């Protein structure tokens, strides 16, 4: 077990790679009541074309299967794992993203037992035709719920505009039609390919003793017989550089229009520290351009083009990435136009200067400290970073070393007219009250 | 584990609560002010915190103010308006890094307190009026905030249920006020209301983090001083439902939103409240509850099927997202679960499981500064003094009979269904 110390943050992190390849991290948090643990596989909604374990041919699986598998893993021959967690005083949950599926619990008592339950239930699949069929009704309602949510539709509409073939454009839960094709055999095939310990990471954060927890995990894993696993073969089609569509308008039952402007990222093949530097630089760029202390924010707010729903965000994973900004607006076309102009003006412009960088760097460092208050943030983000070869605890040093040239370079790499796209949600039948 | 120790001091016109804890990397300062929810003032109260947080005399526009927050290592400042029972509560929260974890030793807590005080007592105003353009901008944003309820159908259904169910009670008012009233507010009427609120509201300041009590007290006393007051109290009463009301509304949506409102007739701080919490947990509060297991897992009718309490108003809200065609079946199953609770059809294991999970939830809430303030503030609303430990031991003493008794007090008042246009009810 190795121990890593972060003096400035006053945190310690313990790490060990199990014999079967599972990466285990433990971060003790004194004074906290709660222990939070995540058990995550590097397998998400985008992994829909791959070579199943032991087979030579690529297969294409139905959209939404990673998320479906996440739901089904909770059900066992003797009942529902949620029940077992709550008998042990824990609350359990799971989520599927583009690139990860995470299972988690939090509890203030019976931590060892809950951890054992977490590891064991994820490592012991039980799928039957009957339970698979039953789940289709529940997930169908989950899909319908998101379909009624205009912000979700707006977000996915924008991603769809950007990508021509990359599976990031597909809704994580799939569609009612796509999940209808899912069978128990497909779930087993995905499970065997992606849930090997060498593709997974366990993170435990809370008032725990790292020696005891690590020993528990060692013993748990030693009891299970995992064969060494060849590298997973995923397949992605070559994606075009420019945005696939320039604009999309969705008509929905809303009163207030919504507008998002996005940029498809260019350099998404990178991993590790290089990726961390790029990601943080782009986050700084968005803060400088659209943060509440920016001239742009003030202008848009004064003109009545944005309200407090305005937000911006940057997402990057291996093979895809996008920046976006927008929110509710009275004038979606004018907002799209102004945001696009602001982005293009910024490219190579003087807004990326020492004053703005230094102010934003301070803001980012303080925001990181605040985030580290949260066990959920630490476990989930650490895992995401690790799957991309990055280290969460490099955030502050990288911010401290960032120069004006770094952000100027990142801005000129990011911003390009042909990669900008717009998505709007407009009231159906012009029944807006505004 | 678990115990919160707060020290409470009476200051000039407000109470200061200090919670010393070393577990966070930031220190949190929360200013709360409450007054009865009333039609005449609700919209002004909903607007006021947004006007105050956008500028001040020293920081005359948002850019200057927000730049200063960035310089304070990204101190976060946000405001919130909430309905707690029949009170409308304004919150101003400032969260600021503890310099101990920064390379820069400059002390930050006092600066954070100064800034929050500046926002509260030194607004951008002259001769009895706020800055006109600030008020106009924030009115526009408030209008959009009010409209946005319509666009989030789950929120909309919850709001409409309350509107129908509590028709003649102040509780029916939306927390953001009324659209028609926004236009009637101007910079001088809002300023007048600002003065009134700061002279009459019940006000509390919470400081949470690695702080020294004496230092915080000295700083608070030097920055904030108001007239003494006897805050207005509201009698919480909940009319007994006569017959079950059913309200259906049709919209162009895919999923029907079924929301059922019940009167529990039990308020936070009352004797039966602990049993009510356990009842709610077994009935619909968690993923081991009757609603989750029957509506979702057994019948596959819904993705979400849950209940939650409005502790200070004596309500329990049930919600589920379903196919429009399954309305009758869903209502029948939900009512069957309620009947089972009334008849004592639940196991001792379910009781134990639920108590354990509620305790867990409570202890987890205390791991965030914001959660701590919410827990402590319950006592302000309910005018009670119960500590978390008393509350937890009270809950552990809840018996099967207590739960059955509570279940029999819970009455369905209104069933609200927002249906899709496809498929008849």
Is residue B115 scored above 70 in pLDDT? Answer: yes
- Which residues of chain A does B150 touch, with a Cβ-Cβ cutoff of 8 Å? 254-255
Dist. CA A47–CA A234, nearest whole Å: 7
Structure confidence at residue A432 as a pLDDT band (50, 70, 90): very low
The chain-wide mean pLDDT, for chain A, equals 96
Let me know whether A193 and A74 are in one domain: yes
Residues with Cβ within 8 Å of residue A16, at least 6 apart in sequence: A1, A2, A24, A214, A218
Q: How many domains are there within chain A?
A: 2
Residues with Cβ within 8 Å of residue A193, at least 6 apart in sequence: A50, A51, A52, A53, A232
The chain-wide mean pLDDT, for chain B, equals 94
Q: Do B367 and A149 touch (CB under 8 A)?
A: no
Confirm whether A230 is domain-assigned. Answer: no
- Comparing A417-431, B51-65, B313-327, the range with the smallest average pLDDT is A417-431
Parallel/antiparallel/unpaired status of strands A23-28 and A200-206: parallel
Q: How large is the average pLDDT for residues B26-44? A: 97
- Structure confidence at residue A433 (pLDDT): 46
DSSP B158-189: HHHHHHHHTTTSGGGS-TT--HHHHHH--HHH
Dist. CA B83–CA B411, nearest whole Å: 22
Q: Do B303 and A141 touch (CB under 8 A)?
A: yes
The interface predicted TM-score of the complex, written ipTM, equals 0.93
Give A 88-117 residues with CB within 8 A of chain B: 88-92, 106-109
Q: Do B26 and A373 touch (CB under 8 A)?
A: yes
Let me know whether A197 and A70 are in one domain: yes
* Chain A, nearest residue to B59 by Cα: A293
Helix, strand or coil, per DSSP, at residue A207: coil
Residue ranges, comma separated, of all CATH 3.30.830.10 domains in chain B are: 6-223, 245-419
- Structure confidence at residue B160 (pLDDT): 97
Residue B308 C-alpha, separation from nearest chain A C-alpha, in angstroms: 16
Cβ-nearest to A434 among B66, B147, B368: B147
A5 exposed, middle or buried (CB, 10 Å; 0-12, 13-18, 19+)? exposed
- Which residues of chain B does A326 touch, with a Cβ-Cβ cutoff of 8 Å? none
- Structure confidence at residue A434 (pLDDT): 43
Give the CATH number of the domain where residue A83 resides: 3.30.830.10
Q: Do A292 and B101 touch (CB under 8 A)?
A: no
B248: β partners = B417
Q: How large is the average pLDDT for residues A42-55? A: 96
Q: What tokens appear for A111 in the block?
A: 């931590």
Q: Indicate the fold that domain B245-419 takes in CATH.
A: Cytochrome Bc1 Complex; Chain A, domain 1 (3.30.830)
A35: β partners = A107
Let me know whether A306 and A353 are in one domain: yes
Q: Do A307 and B141 touch (CB under 8 A)?
A: yes
Is residue B422 scored above 70 in pLDDT? Answer: no
B10 exposed, middle or buried (CB, 10 Å; 0-12, 13-18, 19+)? exposed
- Which residues of chain A does B140 touch, with a Cβ-Cβ cutoff of 8 Å? 304, 307
> Chain A contact for B155, CB < 8 A?
no
CA distances from A61 to A135, A143, A175, B16, B346 (A): 17, 18, 13, 59, 42
Let me know whether A206 and A303 are in one domain: no
Instruction: With beta carbons less than 8 A apart as the criterion, state whether B403 and B412 touch.
Output: no
Structure confidence at residue A123 as a pLDDT band (50, 70, 90): very high
Question: Could you tell me which CATH class the domain B6-223 is placed in?
Answer: alpha beta
- Which residues of chain B does A135 touch, with a Cβ-Cβ cutoff of 8 Å? 300
Residue B405 C-alpha, separation from nearest chain A C-alpha, in angstroms: 24
Dist. CA A323–CA A286, nearest whole Å: 8
Is residue B240 scored above 90 in pLDDT? Answer: no
Let me know whether A198 and A313 are in one domain: no
CA distances from A143 to A139, B166, B247, B400 (A): 6, 32, 26, 38
Q: How large is the average pLDDT for residues A220-237? A: 95
What count of CB pairs under 8 Å joins A to B?
A: 213
Interface probe, candidates B70, B136, B138, chain A, greatest A C-beta count within 10 A: B70
Positions of A annotated as catalytic residues are 70
Q: In the listed set A222, A255, A278, which residue is the last one of a domain according to the structure?
A: A222
DSSP B126-165: ETTEE-HHHHHHHHHHHHHHHHHHHHSHHHHHHHHHHHHH
Residue A299 C-alpha, separation from nearest chain B C-alpha, in angstroms: 10
Strand spans (E) along A45-197: 49-50, 59-60, 75-76, 79-80, 91-96, 101-107
A47 exposed, middle or buried (CB, 10 Å; 0-12, 13-18, 19+)? buried
Let me know whether A168 and A65 are in one domain: yes
Give percent of chain A with pLDDT exceeding 90: 96
Cβ-nearest to A372 among B25, B302, B303: B25
* Phi and psi at residue A58, to the nearest 5°: -70, 145
- Which residues of chain B does A151 touch, with a Cβ-Cβ cutoff of 8 Å? 152
Is residue B424 scored above 80 in pLDDT? Answer: no
> Chain A contact for B321, CB < 8 A?
yes
- Structure confidence at residue B4 (pLDDT): 77
Q: How far apart are the first and last CA of chain B?
A: 51
Q: How large is the average pLDDT for residues A343-364? A: 94
Q: How large is the average pLDDT for residues A104-120? A: 97
Dist. CA B265–CA B274, nearest whole Å: 13
Instruction: With beta carbons less than 8 A apart as the criterion, state whether A94 and A103 touch.
Output: yes
- Which residues of chain A does B67 touch, with a Cβ-Cβ cutoff of 8 Å? 293, 359
DSSP A112-137: HHHHHHHHHHHTS----HHHHHHHHH
Confirm whether A176 is domain-assigned. Answer: yes
Dist. CA A44–CA B337, nearest whole Å: 37
Instruction: With beta carbons less than 8 A apart as the criterion, state whether A191 and A121 touch.
Output: no
Confirm whether A298 is domain-assigned. Answer: yes
- Structure confidence at residue A312 (pLDDT): 98
Q: Which helix (H) or strand (E) holds A284?
A: helix A272-290
Residue that the structure tokens 């949620």 belong to: A82
Parallel/antiparallel/unpaired status of strands A49-50 and A200-206: unpaired
Confirm whether A262 is domain-assigned. Answer: yes
Is residue A29 scored above 50 in pLDDT? Answer: yes
Let me know whether A388 and A295 are in one domain: yes
Let me know whether A173 and A81 are in one domain: yes
Confirm whether A239 is domain-assigned. Answer: no
Q: What tokens appear for B60 in the block?
A: 């005359």
A60: β partners = A49
Dist. CA A248–CA A97, nearest whole Å: 24
User: What residues make up the domain containing A314?
Assistant: 247-430
If one counts every other C-beta atom within 10 angstroms of the C-beta of residue A345, the result is 13
- Which residues of chain B does A90 touch, with a Cβ-Cβ cutoff of 8 Å? 357, 360
According to DSSP, residue A196 is labeled: S
Confirm whether A11 is domain-assigned. Answer: yes
- Structure confidence at residue B238 (pLDDT): 72
Instruction: With beta carbons less than 8 A apart as the criterion, state whether A300 and A338 touch.
Output: yes
> Chain A contact for B375, CB < 8 A?
no
Give A 327-366 residues with CB within 8 A of chain B: 328, 330, 359-360, 362-366
Let me know whether A195 and A267 are in one domain: no
- Structure confidence at residue B196 (pLDDT): 97
Let me know whether A148 and A23 are in one domain: yes
Confirm whether A267 is domain-assigned. Answer: yes
- Structure confidence at residue B3 (pLDDT): 65
For residue B244, the number of C-alpha atoms closer than 13 Å in the C-beta half-sphere is 11
DSSP B256-309: EEEEEEEE----TTSTTHHHHHHHHIIIIISTTSHHIIIIIIIT---S-EEEEE
Q: Which helix (H) or strand (E) holds B192?
A: helix B187-200
Query: Tens of pLDDT along A174-210?
Result: 999 999 999 999 999 999 999 999 999 999 999 999 9
Residue B66 C-alpha, separation from nearest chain A C-alpha, in angstroms: 5
């Amino acid at each position: 077990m190795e121990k890593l110390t972060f003096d400035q943050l006053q945190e310690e992190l313990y790490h060990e790679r199990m014999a079967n390849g599972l990466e285990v991290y433990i971060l003790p948090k004194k004074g906290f009541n709660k222990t939070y643990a995540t058990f995550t596989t590097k397998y998400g909604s985008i992994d829909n074309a791959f070579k199943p374990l032991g087979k030579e041919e690529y297969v294409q699986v139905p959209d939404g299967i990673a998320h479906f598998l996440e739901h089904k893993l909770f059900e066992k021959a003797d009942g529902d794992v949620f029940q077992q967690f709550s008998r042990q005083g824990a609350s359990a949950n799971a989520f599927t993203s583009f690139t990860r599926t995470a299972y988690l619990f939090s509890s203030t008592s019976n931590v060892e037992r809950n951890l054992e339950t977490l590891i064991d239930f994820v490592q012991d699949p039980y799928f039957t035709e009957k339970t698979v069929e039953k789940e289709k009704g529940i997930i169908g309602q989950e899909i319908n719920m998101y379909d009624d949510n205009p912000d979700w539709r707006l977000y996915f509409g924008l991603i769809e505009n950007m990508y021509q073939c990359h599976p990031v454009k597909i809704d994580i839960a799939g569609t009612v039609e796509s999940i209808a094709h899912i069978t128990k055999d497909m779930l087993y095939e995905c499970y065997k390919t992606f849930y090997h310990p060498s593709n997974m990471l366990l993170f435990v954060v809370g008032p725990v003793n790292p020696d005891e927890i690590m020993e528990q995990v060692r013993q748990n894993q030693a009891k299970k017989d995992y064969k060494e696993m060849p590298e997973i073969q995923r397949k992605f089609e070559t994606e075009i550089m420019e945005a696939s569509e320039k604009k999309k308008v969705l008509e929905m039952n809303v009163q207030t229009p919504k507008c998002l402007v996005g940029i498809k990222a260019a350099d998404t093949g990178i991993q590790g520290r290089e990726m961390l530097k790029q990601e943080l630089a782009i986050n700084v760029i968005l803060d400088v351009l659209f943060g509440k202390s920016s001239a742009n924010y003030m202008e848009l707010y004064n003109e009545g083009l944005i309200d407090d729903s305005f937000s911006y965000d940057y997402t990057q994973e291996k093979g895809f990435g996008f920046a976006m900004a927008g929110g509710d607006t009275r004038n979606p076309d004018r907002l799209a136009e102004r945001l696009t102009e602001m982005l293009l003006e910024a490219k190579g412009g003087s807004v990326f200067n020492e004053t703005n960088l230094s102010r934003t760097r301070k803001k980012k460092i303080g925001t990181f400290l605040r985030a580290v208050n949260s066990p959920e943030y630490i476990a989930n983000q650490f895992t995401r970073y690790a799957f991309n070869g990055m280290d969460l605890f490099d955030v502050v040093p990288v911010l401290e070393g960032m120069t004006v040239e770094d952000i100027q370079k990142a801005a000129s790499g990011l911003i390009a007219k042909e990669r900008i796209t717009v998505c709007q949600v407009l009231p159906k039948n012009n029944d807006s009250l505004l | 584990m678990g115990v919160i120790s707060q020290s409470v001091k009476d200051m000039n016109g407000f109470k200061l609560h200090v919670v010393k804890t070393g577990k966070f990397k930031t220190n949190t300062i929360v200013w709360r002010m409450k007054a009865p929810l009333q039609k005449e003032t609700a919209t002004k109260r909903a607007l006021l915190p947004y006007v105050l947080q956008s500028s001040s005399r020293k920081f005359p526009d948002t850019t200057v103010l927000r730049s200063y927050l960035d310089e304070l290592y990204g101190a976060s400042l946000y405001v919130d308006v909430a309905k707690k029972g029949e009170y409308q509560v304004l919150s101003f929260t400032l969260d600021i890094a503890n310099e101990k974890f920064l390379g820069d030793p400059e002390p930050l807590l006092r600066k954070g307190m100064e800034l929050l005080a500046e926002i509260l007592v030194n607004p951008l105003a002259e001769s009895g009026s706020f800055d006109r353009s600030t008020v106009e901008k924030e009115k526009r944003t408030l209008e959009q905030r009010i409209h946005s309820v319509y666009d989030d159908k789950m929120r909309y259904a919850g709001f409409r249920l309350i509107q129908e169910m509590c028709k003649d009670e102040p509780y029916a008012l939306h927390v953001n006020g009324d659209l028609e009233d926004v236009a009637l507010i101007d910079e001088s009427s809002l300023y007048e209301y600002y003065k009134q609120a700061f002279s009459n509201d019940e006000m509390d300041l919470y400081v949470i983090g690695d702080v020294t009590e004496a230092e915080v007290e000295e700083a608070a006393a030097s920055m904030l001083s108001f007239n003494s007051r006897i805050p207005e109290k509201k009698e919480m009463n909940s009319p007994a439902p006569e017959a079950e009301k059913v309200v259906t509304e049709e919209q162009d949506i895919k999923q029907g939103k079924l929301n059922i409102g019940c009167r529990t007739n039990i308020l936070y701080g009352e004797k039966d409240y602990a049993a009510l919490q356990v009842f709610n947990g077994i009935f619909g509060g968690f993923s081991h509850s009757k609603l989750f297991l029957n509506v979702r897992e057994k019948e596959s009718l819904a993705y979400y099927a849950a209940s939650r309490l409005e502790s200070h108003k004596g309500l329990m809200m049930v919600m589920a997202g379903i196919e429009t065609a399954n309305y009758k079946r869903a209502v029948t199953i939900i009512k069957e679960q309620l009947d089972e609770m009334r008849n004592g059809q639940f196991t001792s294991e379910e009781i134990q499981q639920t108590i354990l999970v509620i305790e867990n939830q409570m202890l987890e809430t205390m791991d965030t500064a914001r959660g701590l303030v919410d827990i402590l503030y319950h006592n302000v609303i309910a005018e009670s003094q119960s500590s978390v430990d008393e509350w937890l031991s009270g809950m552990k003493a809840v018996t099967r009979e207590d739960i059955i008794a509570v279940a029999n007090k819970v009455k369905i008042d209104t069933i609200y269904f927002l249906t899709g246009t496809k498929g008849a009810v």
